[in-house]
Amino acid sequence: MAFRKFLSALGVNAPSVETVLDNTTVRPGDQLGCEVTMRGGGADVTIERLTLQVVTRFEDMETTEDRWENPGVLVSGELPGPFTLAAGAEVTERVVLDLPWEMPLTHILGGRRLRGARVAVRTELAIDNAVDRGDFDEFAVHALPQQDMVLQAYSDLGFRFDEAECKKGTPSSAVRSQVDWWQEIEMWFPADYRNPGQNEIAFNARHDSLDLLTGGTGRLEFRYADMDLARVTEVIDEHARSRFAR
């Protein structure tokens, strides 16, 4: 998956940049390798810096639920400059981005697309005091197996997934978050909870455990080594009925 972006601000015979991702499907905590090829145009140019940014759609930064024109940066990697890109030359550089454990999910339950969730790599090239932002190169973030287990428990209990939103800041119930944003997954209660509203959850994942943040009503911690679907389902059901059932 790649894009090639001609730097229109520099006119005809401008340099171009192409970014190719090693993988278009990852999980939280993975590394994402990117190969960036810069091709010189009709004249030498000074590259002040080349930046690769992992971006996502933040709900409060867009005018409507469908727009994605002002993405927020999650991770950034840079090839510092300045350096010269000669006319007609081709230069390939490699950038590896470390994805956080709190990475927003785009796919859950074995590949189901999560509505409202989008993640991409954006290439930004600064040339002669002009910044050119290339097109988005989208990729998929699949849930960790343990996150999928939690979501399967909700599904088995009858909850219906609605959409996901990324928000700036840190939830009050998050105690070990390493980032200043979170992804909120919204779902509808099953009928037997007698709650017409939505349940909102968030994950705070780590390499060996995760916190399930349950819509401002507390935090459930699960250690991966101790998790099984039956027990996770029981814990979630007990918690939801004690806090939300009417």
Domains, the chain, with CATH or none: 2-141 (2.60.40.640), 145-243 (no CATH)
d(CA 203, CA 213) in angstroms, rounded, equals: 6
Is pLDDT larger for residue 59 or for residue 229?
A: 229
Query: pLDDT tens digit string along 143-192?
Result: 999 999 999 999 999 999 999 999 988 776 667 778 889 999 999 999 88
* Whether the Cβ atoms of residue 62 and residue 69 lie closer than 8 Å to each other: yes
Please give the helix or strand (H or E) that residue 125 lies within, else none: strand 119-127
Query: pLDDT tens digit string along 70-101?
Result: 788 999 998 887 889 999 999 999 999 999 99
Query: What residue has token string 């939830």?
Result: 171
Give whole-number Cα distances, 186 to 107, 110, 150, in Å: 14, 18, 14
pLDDT for res 1? 36
What strands, in cross-sheet order, belong to the sheet with 45-56? Answer: 72-85, 45-56, 119-127, 130-138
Between CA 193 and CA 198, with CA 197 as vertex, the angle to 5 degrees is 95
